[in-house]
Structure 1
Amino acid sequence: MSWRDVIGRLFKHSEPVPAERPLVSCETSPELERKLDHLEHKLDEIRPNTAFSKELAKFGFLARARNPQDPKQLSGYAQVYSQFGEDGYIQEIFSRIGEGGRTFLEFGIEDGTQNTTRFLLERGWSGVWVEGSEAFATRAAETFHDFIEAGQLQIIHGFVTAENVNSLLDQNGIAAGFDLMSVDLDQNTSHVWRRLNRTARVACVEYNASLPPYFAVEVPYDPARTWDGSNHYGASLKTLEDIGRGHGMHLVGCDYPGVNAYFVHADETADKFLEPFTSERHYEPPRYNALDYIGHPPPRDARRWMDVEDPERS
């Protein structure tokens, strides 16, 4: 559909205009026709350039993932459900250290269809989702009803702050430790993670890639403040490196789009990940719009995956 068609539909379905304010239709306005033609021409120029740029970015990403400079470098190999390929990075980490008890705790899931741990859940993991939006939490509970009924998933609705995060988990009987923890709370991610008293073998934490990785900085804490869509949110990667160290974890990598940082408990990093475990070494710049979804789109309804045992690996 062209822009001319869009404008025409808007005029067709709009409310009647009073007689004292006659409407000049797009078909009878040479000036509007000229502007629409110019706009369509510009869009025709932009579309192939945008598509080409995204294809180049995708090619570079996949090439680097298949041929990392160092075998210990963290590279994403899959994108099943998660928006920025978290599935692949998490799967690669656990392929190196083992899946353990296969439990997770995730903050900020929206409706659960494109979050970090959905693939793990559908592969048989169990865990807890915490979501601040009642509408999202309700939708997730409807979509993943069977997993909840089976005792595999617990969804907690609650607006998380640094002050209430631990009591919220305590009140819902949440365990003290998990194999994977994911924290994506936009504005106050670093403040909440700093205060969180639950432990994990692996953590996936959102960082602000707009901030240089060489120094520790974060937004001032305001429990009532939410992200406004600007780059004033969260914390620098150096800040998360320091917080992670306080939790006994090492920074082992970041995803290619520059959205999440990945941490592994210090007891499990030896000879498995690229050192030094610093923000300067593992920082990735923001490439939020560089990649479209790779592969077929995921289903909206909940599904299940079955792990296949290989006798040669056991």
Structure 2
Amino acid sequence: MDFLHDRLKRMLPLVRSLDTQLGEKIRTESVTHQEMLRILHSCESLLYRLCIESDTCRRDALEEHRRRLASIMPDNPAAKGWKVFSQNDEDGILQECLRRLSPAKTFMEFCCGDGLENNTHFLLLQGFRGVWLDGSQNNIEHIRTGLGGLKFNNLWVRQDFLTLDNISDLLRSSLEFLGLDDLDVFSLDVDGNDIYFAEYIQEMVHPKILIVEYNGKFPPPLSLSIEYNPEHTWQRDDFHGASLQKFVDVLDRYMLVACNVVGVNAFFVRKDVASGFTEYPVELVYQPPRLGLTGYPVYHAASFKWLKQILGREQD
């Protein structure tokens, strides 16, 4: 990434200049209050410029990866990625997948987080109906506070820690809320036992699109997953989830169509509705973890205000 190095090099002289000025003033004990303020203001300006440069570099790096991906796999939905409420580029990839299908506008997201950064918030703004589930009481209370409730015509927010003992009941009751069996989107990210839940989802819910978080550390053809542990919690290390190949092996009714460029989420489409997608080799679709590029630049803080407005209107 030569362009990244060039930009960082341009910032170094500014850093060194400020460091020299401040060091000289302190050594000679000649720094006045006004001079200290001037140097501090210069530092603040520099930090702001560094943040802008960092965001720009990250955005440019992502676009470069996306261009390369498109040149190799022109029909890969990951080439269309962008962010609204997703953590990275999942919103755009999902929109491209839905564009090629006939959606009934329904979804479930298990491990929805605090509601402000997930894969389905943007769908609700487009009139989808869905279910959010999360095991964190803090996350659920954050959503309740932001939306003024947990159950609406188009959204049911639920708190539960997902296990193999309760997943059947949770899926069944969620389908009853939606009032149909033909689910469009299921997003799953529980940082651990994902592969075992994905099997249930394939059998019980069989959504058109299934989004799963894979462990990008292990490239194909390595097929690997943690052993099922109902009490598993992620310890912020590499022991979590399953490799991409393991998901491909287990989800035999689905076609792998995309992995986002930061190497976090994989997108599968049910084979009986996948005629509008090109099947590429797993080794090509796989994206390695580029965690240094996660967290798209956001210049306005996300809020529940748009969603609250829409959900409130639908209640009337």
TM-score range, shorter chain: 0.7 to 0.9
Q: 1:261 aligns with which of 242, 263, 266?
A: 266
For 1:84, the equivalent position in structure 2 comes to 88
Q: Residue 249 in 1 paired to residue 254 in 2?
A: yes
**How far did 1:215 drift?**
2.2
SS at match of 2:220: coil
Deviation per CA, 1:255-301: give whole Å up to 9, x if none.
Answer: 0010100011111222x22323x432310000122144245335312
Q: 2:218 aligns with which of 199, 202, 211?
A: 211
Separation (CA, whole Å) in 2 of partners of 1:202 and 1:124: 17
**How far did 1:71 drift?**
3.2
**How far did 1:192 drift?**
1.4
SS at match of 2:217: coil
- Give the percent of matched residue pairs that are identical in Structure 1 and Structure 2: 28
For 1:136, the equivalent position in structure 2 comes to 139
For 1:225, the equivalent position in structure 2 comes to 232
**How far did 1:77 drift?**
3.4
Higher helix fraction (1 or 2): 2
**How far did 1:200 drift?**
0.2
For 2:110, the equivalent position in structure 1 comes to 107
Deviation per CA, 1:29-63: give whole Å up to 9, x if none.
Answer: xxxxxxxxxxx9xxx9xx69967863552341353
Query: Which structure 1 segments of 5+ residues have no match?
Result: 3-26, 28-39, 307-314
The amino acid of 1:118's aligned partner reads H
Separation (CA, whole Å) in 1 of partners of 2:145 and 2:182: 27
Change (3 A) 1:146 1:121: farther
Q: TM-score, normalised by structure 2?
A: 0.73
> CA RMSD of the aligned region, Å?
3.0
- Structure 1 residues 29-108: aligned runs within 5 Å: 54=58, 56-64=60-68, 67-74=70-77, 75-98=79-102, 100-108=103-111
The amino acid of 2:215's aligned partner reads N
Separation (CA, whole Å) in 1 of partners of 2:206 and 2:54: 42
Separation (CA, whole Å) in 2 of partners of 1:202 and 1:195: 15
The amino acid of 1:84's aligned partner reads N
**How far did 1:76 drift?**
3.0
Q: How many residues align?
A: 260
- Structure 1 residues 152-191: aligned runs within 5 Å: 152-171=154-173, 173-174=176-177, 176-191=181-196
Does the Cα contact within 8 Å between 1:251 and 1:279 map onto a contact in 2? yes
**How far did 1:122 drift?**
1.2
Does the Cα contact within 8 Å between 2:146 and 2:304 map onto a contact in 1? yes
Q: TM-score, normalised by structure 1?
A: 0.73
Does the Cα contact within 8 Å between 1:141 and 1:148 map onto a contact in 2? no
Change (3 A) 1:93 1:167: same
SS at match of 1:137: helix
Q: Residue 297 in 1 paired to residue 284 in 2?
A: no
Separation (CA, whole Å) in 1 of partners of 2:301 and 2:54: 24
Does the Cα contact within 8 Å between 1:205 and 1:260 map onto a contact in 2? yes
Does the Cα contact within 8 Å between 1:80 and 1:298 map onto a contact in 2? no
For 1:23, the equivalent position in structure 2 comes to none
Deviation per CA, 1:133-174: give whole Å up to 9, x if none.
Answer: 11211221332347843x110011100012211122335545
SS at match of 1:187: coil
Does the Cα contact within 8 Å between 2:106 and 2:185 map onto a contact in 1? yes
Separation (CA, whole Å) in 1 of partners of 2:259 and 2:144: 30
